[in-house]
Chains A and B, each alone.
Chain A
Amino acid sequence: MAHSQADYQKHVRTYIGVFLALAVLTAVTVGVSYIDLSTGPAIILAVFIASIKASLVMAFFMHLLNEKQVITSLLLLTAFFFGVLMILPVLTSG
């Protein structure tokens, strides 16, 4: 998959932007942990920020924005079963 020099420069700018966003969001993650929140909202906020960071990595570093349908379908199936795994302990705990 050869790129032109212009494409390369565009990609590099995107990668640097994503890196800076990840660094800022890491600082935000640590910062909000010092806010006196109860456990529930604290977990929701932390997982929300982590999800934004994960989306950035998947979309830009793993190139999922431009990926073929076979890969995105596979990942949607995985995400569904991952979701089931996350919900199961909540549903089954008394």
Chain B
Amino acid sequence: MSEAVIKHIADPHPVTGVTNSKLGIWCFIASEVMLFGGLFSTYILLRTGAGADWPIGSDLLNVPLATLNTMILITSSITMVMAWASLTINKFGAYKKYMTLTVLLGVAFLIVKSFEYGMKFEHHIYPSKNNFYAIYFVMTGLHVLHVIGGLVVNLYLLLPGSKLWHKAPEQFMGRIEAAGLYWHFVDLVWIFLFPTLYLL
């Protein structure tokens, strides 16, 4: 059986002008926008339906912890883009350093989130309590799943997946760019979740 070759993963496709992997990750991100869009739409529907009965997020949720998590994710976005930028000047050691920081910041986000969820569960607050907590847990829970997914990919690209740099550097840079685009998208979602759920 001949080995299947995926074309244009390191060089741009002549029709689109971008690599197939880049087009692929953007199509995936577009589908993710619609996934979270459906949930934001649900939030608007619930909130407009409840009128004045809808609680203010800052009265119920931990704003300092969420602000800390916002800063953690923003910082992880710059370390991620620095990991990619380091490869553009062939500094593999710097890539490893920045990618390690990105992974650690992702873990820090999950630790802070676990404290936040833990405090809610201690007070027997679950998604079934009311519509506010239902949409809060669904949206932040789905976001957490995305952070975990990104962490798994980043950890792979930091450890076993990084061997590709020595064999096919252009292809490896494409993978880091794709992983970075996904990670920045996860940051983007949080940028909107934070004021929507925690402050308004």
Contact = CB atoms under 8 A, between A and B. Distances in A.
Interface of A: 1-5, 7-8, 11-12, 15-16, 18-19, 22-23, 26, 29-30, 33, 39, 42-43, 46-47, 49-50, 53-54, 57-58, 61-62, 68-71, 74-75, 77-78, 81-82, 85-86, 88-90, 92-93
15 contacts: A4-B89, A15-B82, A18-B78, A22-B77, A33-B58, A39-B200, A57-B77, A61-B184, A70-B16, A71-B26, A74-B30, A78-B34, A81-B37, A89-B44, A93-B49
Interface in B149-165: none
B200 A71 contact: no
Given A70-B18, A75-B26, A43 B200 contact: yes
A20 to B, nearest CB: 10
Contacts of A53: 191
B3 to A, nearest CB: 27
B71 A26 contact: yes
Q: How large is the interface on B (under 10, 10 to 19, 20 to 34, 35 or more residues)?
A: 35 or more
The interface residues of chain B, by DSSP majority, are classed as: helix
Q: Which of A49, A62, A74 has the most CB of B within 10 A?
A: A62
A93 B192 contact: no
Interface in B3-44: 16-18, 22-23, 26-27, 30, 33-34, 37-38, 40-42, 44
A82 B194 CA distance: 19
Contacts of B16: 68, 70
